[in-house]
């Protein structure tokens, strides 16, 4: 929580414009709820949310995927064999060049080709003449936090599309079908019991 107000104040004070998506992204709201959660102090809660142990695994991608799934979007398991990697988001949704609030930013990290970091775009400003993005991300120094990242580390910017909402729509349809089938089966069962008991 400690970085939200300074960042918002800085964005306002510097006259930095923070474009927003037409429809506020519910996954951002989900992610904001976890700001300040630390991998050891909040291990149980984070594990329940992400489905992995944050102490044992790198978890920035798991956090982003969990926030997306909680909001009805599919995660990167739909586009990658390694959804726990930050770089799995490079094939997710739509490629973007100018980020808007809620877009997914993938960063370079470490010396290995598989390494990276991923977070949700919050805003931007220049620091010592160099453009930086503010990202809300998990596993930022073992915490869910908002921090500034040099844009020279950016590998890609992605935006969830309506196609990535398909999971939510299909799930709702399946629930309706299951409810209808269950009602039909119960009605048939009741009818069969009635026929057996009929004189």
| pLDDT in single tens digits along all 199 residues of the chain | 344 434 443 443 344 444 444 444 589 999 999 999 999 999 999 999 999 999 999 999 999 999 999 888 889 998 999 999 999 999 999 999 999 999 999 999 988 889 999 999 999 999 999 999 999 999 999 999 999 999 999 999 999 987 777 654 555 556 566 666 666 666 665 666 555 555 5
Q: Are residues 136 and 193 in the same domain?
A: no
The pLDDT assigned to 7 comes to 42
Q: Are residues 19 and 91 in the same domain?
A: yes
Contact 164, 93 (CB under 8 A): yes
d(CA 82, CA 24): 28
Q: Are residues 25 and 62 in the same domain?
A: yes
Which residue stretches of 14-81 are H helix?
26-32, 43-50, 60-70
- Give the list of residues 6+ apart from residue 164 with CB closer than 8 angstroms, or none: 68, 73, 74, 78, 92, 93
The pLDDT assigned to 193 comes to 57
Contact 154, 106 (CB under 8 A): yes
d(CA 129, CA 117): 23
User: Coil, strand or helix: which one is 138?
Assistant: strand
The pLDDT assigned to 26 comes to 84
The pLDDT assigned to 37 comes to 98
- Give the list of residues 6+ apart from residue 15 with CB closer than 8 angstroms, or none: none
Q: Are residues 25 and 89 in the same domain?
A: yes
Q: Are residues 62 and 134 in the same domain?
A: yes
The pLDDT assigned to 164 comes to 75
Per the structure, the complete domain to which residue 26 belongs is given by 4-160
Structure tokens, 189: 């069962």
Domain of 95: which CATH number?
3.90.1720.10
Half-sphere exposure of 132 (CA within 13 A, CB side): 16
The pLDDT assigned to 175 comes to 59
Q: Are residues 146 and 184 in the same domain?
A: no
Q: How many domains does the chain have?
A: 2
Q: Are residues 31 and 124 in the same domain?
A: yes
User: Coil, strand or helix: which one is 185?
Assistant: helix
Q: Are residues 115 and 26 in the same domain?
A: yes
Q: Are residues 101 and 117 in the same domain?
A: yes
The pLDDT assigned to 170 comes to 59
**Scanning the structure block, which residue is given the tokens 């984070």?**
46
Q: Are residues 79 and 156 in the same domain?
A: yes
Q: Are residues 69 and 8 in the same domain?
A: yes
Q: 20 to each of 24, 37, 47, 121, 135, how far by Cα in Å?
A: 8, 25, 30, 10, 14
Q: Are residues 61 and 112 in the same domain?
A: yes
């Amino acid at each position: 929580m400690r970085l939200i107000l300074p960042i918002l104040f800085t964005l306002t004070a510097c006259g930095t414009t923070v474009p927003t998506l037409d429809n506020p992204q519910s996954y951002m709201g989900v992610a904001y709820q976890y700001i300040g959660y630390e991998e050891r102090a909040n291990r149980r809660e984070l594990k329940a949310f992400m489905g992995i142990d944050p102490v044992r695994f790198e978890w920035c991608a798991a956090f982003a995927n969990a926030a997306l799934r909680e909001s009805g979007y599919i995660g990167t398991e739909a586009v990658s064999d390694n959804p726990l990697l930050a770089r799995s988001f490079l094939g997710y949704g739509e490629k973007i060049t100018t980020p808007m609030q809620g877009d997914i930013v993938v960063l370079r990290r470490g010396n290995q080709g598989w390494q990276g970091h991923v977070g949700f775009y919050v805003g931007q400003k220049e620091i010592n003449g160099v453009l930086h993005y503010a990202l809300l991300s998990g596993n930022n120094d073992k915490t869910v936090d908002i921090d500034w990242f040099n844009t020279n580390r950016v590998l890609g910017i992605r935006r969830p599309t309506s196609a990535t909402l398909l999971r939510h729509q299909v799930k709702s349809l399946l629930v309706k079908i299951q409810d209808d089938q269950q009602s039909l089966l119960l009605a048939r069962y009741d009818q069969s019991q009635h026929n057996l008991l009929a004189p």
